[in-house]
Amino acid sequence: MAGAELRVGVIGCGRWAGWAHLPGWTRDERCQVVAVCDRDEGLVQAAADRFGVADAFTDHRRVIERDDVDVIDVVTGDEEHFTLTMAALEAGKHVLCEKPVAHDYRDTLRARDLAASEGLGTKVGFTFRYSPAVRYMKELIDEGWVGTPYIYNAYEQNSQWIDPQTPLRQVPAGVDADRIRVSSLEGYGAPVIDLGHWFMDADLTSVVGVLRNFVPERMIRETGTMMRANIDDGDIFIGEFAGGAICSVQSSFVTVGNYPGIEVRVYGSEGALIARLVEEFGVMETLKGARPDAVEFVDLEVPARLFPPGGDVHEPWPSLYYSNLTANFVDEILAGGDKNEGNFSDAAWVQEVINAVEQSHFDRGWVGLPLPR
């Protein structure tokens, strides 16, 4: 691996790093993870051992300042994403960052602008863009399989917190208990908002939606008691794309179903495609299509080239999809051109849509996009 073309430093060694990020990087022969970092010494050492990484740090500065690192992968808790991202960009590194890059899309745009001015690539953890079924669906759409897209429908939902006893993190102090706070929409709506943008190849010009708190009282992890937690645990919005297409998007973590719980549909003038990313009986995903002259939906075979080496529909989706994600970022960096999908600009766009939906809930009406800056 001495001849690897890219050297990666991974900051954050929690569960998701171990399931998705590190398996992705280490599966790719073109890159080498040269350092891992986590505040928790036990976690970082375990990751280094498991994935064969030479250096393990508890101070992220030790990774970011290394001259031999080309890419920084930020997979820490949300609150550190933005600071670490800015530090890494300032140090001249390409950056992969888990979502959200920042809570305010204006900050994400600042990070994007910094990257652009330095000629650096950015990538956000939009895992589901890299599902083989979803990538094939995008290829088919681009080739005209559906004709002019009319409607996009998206669900991302699961039943992780359907049981009020499943513990939730404490509500921050000082929050207005009567005002519902965005939760599912940000965590689960974001990925399918991103897919809509990508598939439909158009910006949303207006949205209107509702947030709901279906399970009002929940077990709080820190205290072990039931408490009012006025968070959005289910939501639906509709939107209009520039050009005339429309969409509905639904997210929830109290709707029965397995992970990742994604279903995306595109109906167009020449066909319809439905990808379903729901692990059921050992199969991770399916893609179905129908055409005006063959209106009964049939399974479409996703080409093998869209799977990571050795992967198939039975491989657990975190590594299946993330291996595609990291490989795609490596492709883009090595190509050195303008191609850079699922980047910070996309992340800012998604965050702005989320903010607009939130505002539409409180204002009880359509909200135009882009938001006033």
Q: Which chain residues interact with a second copy by CB under 8 A?
A: 104, 148, 150-151, 153, 157-159, 162-163, 206, 208-210, 212, 214-215, 234, 236-238, 240, 244, 246-248, 250, 252, 254-258, 267-269, 271-272, 278-281, 290-292, 295-297, 355, 358-359, 362-368, 371-373
User: 212-242: string of b/e by CB count within 10 Å (b at 16+)?
Assistant: bbebeebbbeeeeeeeebbbbbbbbbbbbbe
Paired with 56 in beta bridges are: 36
Enter the tokens of residue 65. Answer: 């300042």
Cβ of residue 102: shortest distance to a second copy, in angstroms? 13
Q: Which is nearer to a second copy, 203 or 341 (CB)?
A: 203
Q: How far is the CB of 306 from a second copy (least distance, A)?
A: 23
Phi, psi of 131 (to 5 degrees): -65, 140
**CB closer to a second copy out of 124 and 273:** 273
Pick between residue 297 and residue 339 the one whose CB is nearest to a second copy. Answer: 297
C-alpha 177/C-alpha 317 separation (Å) is 36
Whether the CB-CB separation of 11 and 74 falls below 8 Å is answered with yes
**Token representation of residue 222:** 């820190």
Pick between residue 10 and residue 204 the one whose CB is nearest to a second copy. 204
Contact partners, residue 247, CB within 8 Å, separation at least 6: 151, 152, 153, 154, 196, 200, 204, 238, 239, 241
- In the complex, what is the shortest distance from the CB of residue 133 to a second copy, in angstroms, rounded to a whole number? 17
User: Nearest approach, Cβ of 205 to a second copy (angstroms)?
Assistant: 10
Which residue, 114 or 151, is less far from a second copy as judged by CB?
A: 151
Q: Given CA atoms 193, 196, 197, 199 in this order, what sign does their dihedral have?
A: positive
Rounded to a whole number of angstroms, the minimum distance from the CB of residue 248 to a second copy is 5
**3-class SS of residue 148:** coil
Nearest in space to 209 (alpha carbons), one of 189, 192, 229, 195: 189
Nearer to a second copy, 19 or 366 (CB): 366
Distance CA 277, CA 285 (A): 4
In the bound complex, what is the minimum distance in angstroms from residue 104's beta carbon to a second copy?
Answer: 8
Strands 217-219 and 226-228: antiparallel
CB of 39 to a second copy, least distance (A): 29
Cβ nearer to a second copy, comparing 76 with 157? 157
**Distances 280 to 79, 126, 155, 173, 256 between C-alpha atoms, Å:** 33, 22, 16, 39, 13
Q: Which is nearer to a second copy, 13 or 180 (CB)?
A: 180
Distance of closest approach, residue 95 Cβ to a second copy, in angstroms:
25
Residue 336 — left, alpha, or beta (φ > 0 → left; ψ -120 to 50 → alpha)? left
Please calculate the CA angle 40-34-8 and round it to the nearest 5 degrees: 95
Q: Shortest Cβ distance from residue 164 to a second copy (Å)?
A: 9
Nearer to a second copy, 95 or 356 (CB): 356
